[in-house]
Amino acid sequence: MDFAVWPEAIELGRQFAEEGYELALVGGPVRDLLLRRPSHDLDFCTSARPEQFEPILRRWGQGFWDMGRKFGTLGAVRHRPDGTEVKVEITTYRSDSYESDSRKPDVDYGDSLEGDLSRRDFTVNAMALRVPDLTFVDPFGGASDLSKRVLRTPVDPRQSFDDDPLRMMRAVRFVAQLGFRIAPETAEALAAMTDRIGIVSAERVRDELSKLLLSEHARAGVEALVDSGLADHVLPELPALQLEIDEHHRHKDVYEHTLMVLDRAIALETGPDGPVPAPDLTLRLAALLHDIGKPATRRFEPGGKVSFHHHDAVGAKLARKRLKALRFDKHFIEDVCDLIAMHLRFHGYVDERWSDAAVRRYAKETGRLYPRLNRLTRADATTRNRRKAQVFSAAMDELEDRVARLKEQEDLDSIRPDLDGRRIMEILGLKPGPMVGEAYRHMLDYRLDHGPADQESAEAELRAWWAERSQE
């Protein structure tokens, strides 16, 4: 076969052969070789047990790790003269299987390369390249499926998904990552076994979902997730967006709208030096979940209108619960949910331009999420009315210009009241406590509304506020 193989792989193959062990490149690196895609992390499998090949790997690399030892996997890294590095992971021939109610796979060692390949997820990942002799091994027609861009399991798909239910998530992830389609018999088995995903740990499901959303064909992956029925178990708020549309079409199809918003948000990501470098999981997940509060808030109003009042707040609450269940990082969850809660903030600007104070407050309160929020807001404007779209876009352009001009005058992100907490306590004769915080917030609001004030004016405002409050 016509491809250039990493010299590090050849060298490792020779060292294993000298010790009497088999070694083969497997999975993604072989697939990527055939696709002419770059791959910097090399996966191998071997006939040797970890304790047998550990000395070889330690001699070969400049860094070594064994976090996967209990699964038969050891890893190492080597630094090349050009400053790049190559990472390798080597695993003893094995099989993975789940007990019917277990969240963790059992690992059993195998005894042949072909047997190991038969236990892989899909035929396109069940190809191998023996090293150092470069014998191509493809017992299940992976190269043919690769050319057809189809995902098929090496063995009966029901057996494959029963052995490792996470493979169902990997299937829809590869749709997003590679632009492939799932073979009919594989898709049928997947749809029939979606409840099996429930035994897989939330962390592993989360990682596959994240990879799906960060992929080139994210929308196709989301559609596969929903069409297969997996989303009913993993992200049920998503298929719930497929609201029944009455014959008068009194509101947009929320699910189709969401897919469009995801596409548009991705298109608005920036280059590596921009404010929202692609791919951005925070923006993409916020786009995917921004309307999940609509099913719970849909109301049919007099005159045939449909409303979704407070769906932003309800959606943020639902998203927080789901993302916690998927074990996302706390700060990441807060960012995504804040974007969902704020995604309607801009809409009032289109009808009535804000004062400088309101613009200053918007920039301050959205903080570091400001670039993402503006992109989510733009992506959410999917109206087909060209005039409305132009008015909305022009208003957003104007707001961003105004924020930029205000930022030239002062650092909006670091705005503080003209009086700090210590001075507030001195003026009002207070001790540390809730009242100081209330006074501080009032002075911050005053600062946002009126801009910088001199010390005398700020103190006069504080005293006036305190006098008025004391009379309540």
Q: Which domains does the chain have, with CATH numbers?
A: 1-148 (3.30.460.10), 149-234 (1.10.110.30), 264-414 (no CATH), 421-470 (no CATH)
Across 52-66, 88-102, 209-223, least confident range? 88-102
The average confidence (pLDDT) of the chain is 90
Query: From CA 369, how far away is CA 283, in angstroms rounded?
Result: 10
Across 22-36, 376-390, 429-443, least confident range? 429-443
Per-residue pLDDT tens for 281-329?
A: 999 999 999 999 999 999 988 877 888 999 999 999 999 999 999 999 9
Q: Tell whether the model's pLDDT for residue 247 goes beyond 50.
A: no
Looking at per-residue pLDDT, the higher value among 105 and 330 belongs to 330
Q: Tell whether the model's pLDDT for residue 105 goes beyond 70.
A: no
Q: Tell whether the model's pLDDT for residue 410 goes beyond 80.
A: no
CB atoms within 10 A of CB 226: 20
Q: Is 329 exposed, middle or buried (0-12, 13-18, 19+ CB in 10 A)?
A: exposed
Query: What pLDDT, on the 0 to 100 scale, is given for residue 1?
Result: 47
Q: Tell whether the model's pLDDT for residue 94 goes beyond 60.
A: yes
> 61-67, long-range: CB within 8 Å, 24+ apart, which pairs?
61/88
Query: What pLDDT, on the 0 to 100 scale, is given for residue 444?
Result: 83
Q: Tell whether the model's pLDDT for residue 354 goes beyond 70.
A: yes
Query: From CA 27, how far away is CA 39, in angstroms rounded?
Result: 11
Across 11-15, 347-351, 412-416, 464-468, least confident range? 412-416
**Parallel/antiparallel/unpaired status of strands 299-300 and 306-307:** antiparallel
Mean pLDDT of 55-68: 93
Query: From CA 230, how far away is CA 176, in angstroms rounded?
Result: 15
Shortest CA distance to 200 belongs to which of 61, 96, 335, 319?
96
Per-residue pLDDT tens for 112-131?
A: 999 999 989 999 999 999 99
Our CA dihedral for 52, 58, 63, 64, rounded to 10 degrees, sits at 20
Does residue 277 have a cis bond before it (omega within 30 degrees)?
Answer: no
Q: Do 284 and 268 form a contact (C-beta atoms < 8 A)?
A: no
Per-residue pLDDT tens for 190-242?
A: 999 999 999 999 999 999 999 999 999 999 999 999 999 999 999 999 999 99
Q: Tell whether the model's pLDDT for residue 244 goes beyond 90.
A: no
Secondary structure element (H or E) that encloses residue 14, with its range? helix 7-18
Query: What pLDDT, on the 0 to 100 scale, is given for residue 348?
Result: 81
Q: Tell whether the model's pLDDT for residue 49 goes beyond 90.
A: yes
pLDDT over 90, % of the chain? 65
